[in-house]
Amino acid sequence: MIHLKNLIFSIQIVDDSSFNLSIDSPSTYDKVIQMDEDQEYSSTSQHAIKVFKDEKLIQSAIILASNGKTGVYNGTALLNNMDLIIRCSNKVFNLALPELTINWFATVDPITCFSVFSYNDSYITHGELSISRISKYGKIMWSFSGEDIFLNLENEYNFQLHENHISIIDFGDRSYNIDYDGNEIVLN
């Protein structure tokens, strides 16, 4: 579970694996956000969002997604003024507050997106197969892939944002340095 706050709202985000689309679901939400409604699948990630004002629940939604499984932890979401930027499975969503309506969404990785970060007037995503930069309007500006998945079980700092570059270590223990234009660079 994570909590985010701006000057007006408090937002709570949790995993809700018990939710289902049937009438007898143990939990209910004002909105269900499901981008692949036309496809038969069972969701692998289900992130519930509750928006509070003065400690009163005013809106709720659940995002259902079917690619790689993601949980709710640091790096799941951030606030940008009156927008909630949240990743679920392999997508990043921009949801308007407090309505939780979709301003835009972008598929940022073929498998899953581990985290999303703010960078200047854009967002950087750490995915399983790619690192991407997204404009504030949801357009993918660039995407970078390595030789293996961007996950390293032996290094807790396998993805870092620095002032002038991003550093990442893949599963094969190979290090990459990428500038904020998506180009691999060599550090002195």
Each residue of 51-95: pLDDT tens digit?
A: 999 999 999 999 999 888 899 999 999 999 999 999 999 999 999
Q: Residue 155: its pLDDT value, please?
A: 66
Q: Residue 35: its pLDDT value, please?
A: 79
Q: Name residues of the chain where pLDDT drops below 70.
A: 36-41, 155-156
Burial (CB count <10 Å: 0-12, 13-18, 19+), residue 118: middle
Q: Of 112, 143, 144, 139, whose CA–CA distance to 128 is shortest?
A: 112
The CB-based long-range contact list for 160-164 (8 Å cut-off, 24+ gap) reads 161/117, 161/119, 161/124
First to last CA, the chain: 40
| Cα–Cα distance, 122 to 15 (Å, whole number) | 26
The string over 153-170, giving b where at least 16 C-beta atoms fall within 10 Å of a residue's C-beta and e elsewhere, is eeeeebbeeeeebbebbb
